[in-house]
Amino acid sequence: MQQKGAIELHLICGLGNPGRKYSRTRHNIGFMVVDRLVAELGYSESSFGNKFKGEFLQVRKDGLDFIALKPQTYMNLSGDCVRDIVNYFKIEPENVIIICDDVNLPFAKLRLRNEGSDGGHNGLKSIFCHLQTNKITRLRVGVNSRPDTRDLADYVLENFSKDEQAKMDEVLKYCAEAVTAFMRRGSGFAMNNYNNKLGYKIDEPPEVSEKKDVVGPAGRPLDK
């Protein structure tokens, strides 16, 4: 039980697959968000150590206390790593957030939920099974639906398109902001402010004011 006013320890877990060949793939968006979150606080990827079958970093900074975790078990066994962390540090389920990809959402669209099904995501399925609850906050990040001609397993292991990569910096920053809001203000606040939002700004076409020609007696526009 946390003392009143104490900073609660959170677990921020991004899902993905280990290895450089997977590092920029759609399935690894969770790893990317975790890396961006700790980078915003002055840490690099080299700051992570290996513990509990995952890349592990405990951060205490700017009023935050959290464990950044990237399971190294491969996606389908992520729950094994997450369970060990939760049990060892006695982290409350409401202080856990899982970040993963979602092929049913447009690129960079965020979906935050604090309970519900795994939606067919094997990483979430493993975590819910090992923690024996689905009342875990999850941040799903859209990676676009696969083309009808593509196998799903192949699609999520592809790199993002050039157009998507060009927006990625903005998307990751926005996701890190959403996760920080979860830690500071809770899942309800984060859902109200980031759910179903797009992680990058759409360039709006400039407004064009309509000009009406002043017509002279001969039906010709007058010079102005």
Number of H helices, E strands in the chain: 6, 7
Residue 221: what are its φ and ψ, rounded to 5°? -60, 140
Residues 31, 29: Cα–Cα separation, whole Å: 5
Residue 131: what are its φ and ψ, rounded to 5°? -90, -10
Closest CA to 78 of 98, 95, 94, 92: 98
How many Cα atoms within 13 Å fall on the side-chain side of residue 188?
A: 0
Provide the 8-state DSSP code for 1. -
Would you please indicate which residues are annotated as catalytic (active-site) residues?
27
Residue 212: what are its φ and ψ, rounded to 5°? -105, 125
Place of tokens 């017509």: 215
Sheet with strand 64-71: strands edge to edge: 49-51, 54-61, 64-71, 10-14, 96-102, 137-142, 110-113
